[in-house]
Amino acid sequence: DTGVSQDPRHKITKRGQNVTFRCDPISEHNRLYWYRQTLGQGPEFLTYFQNEAQLEKSRLLSDRFSAERPKGSFSTLEIQRTEQGDSAMYLCASSLTQGLYNEQFFGPGTRLTVL
């Protein structure tokens, strides 16, 4: 078990550019979550997948954001036409649905800076 990994760890981009982040969950975890965290705040839920199906999206997830999990394993989060307000830490977490408590395991995050 190597834990949840995210790539890249840091991304600096110019306003208007597109960026894509990748998350590799713990193997066999069927649920995958994306959160966003701005400075001084707790993480905020963006979206989640059960296997390859995207089952819920937060209203925070504007139409410039898209997430995929094509084979029910890794996931990508793309932000199109980035804005300075998109600067944040993007966190990925995974969990199993079996069992009662669904503990979520978080990755180290991707820190996005939009200039």
Partner 1 sequence: DAKTTQPTSMDCAEGRAANLPCNHSTISGNEYVYWYRQIHSQGPQYIIHGLKNNETNEMASLIITEDRKSSTLILPHATLRDTAVYYCIVREGYGGATNKLIFGTGTLLAVQP
Q: Footprint of partner 1 on this chain (CB under 8 A)? A: 4, 31, 33, 35, 40-45, 48, 55-56, 91, 93, 95, 99-109
Q: Is 14 or 27 the residue whose CB approaches partner 1 more closely? A: 27
Angle formed at CA 66 by CA 94 and CA 111, multiple of 5 degrees: 65
Q: Give the β-pairing of 110-114 and 88-95.
A: antiparallel
The whole-angstrom separation of Cα 32 and Cα 114 is: 25
Q: Is 14 or 42 the residue whose CB approaches partner 1 more closely? A: 42
Q: Is 41 or 62 the residue whose CB approaches partner 1 more closely? A: 41
Shortest Å distance, C-beta 19 to partner 1: 19
The whole-angstrom separation of Cα 18 and Cα 79 is: 6
Shortest Å distance, C-beta 31 to partner 1: 8
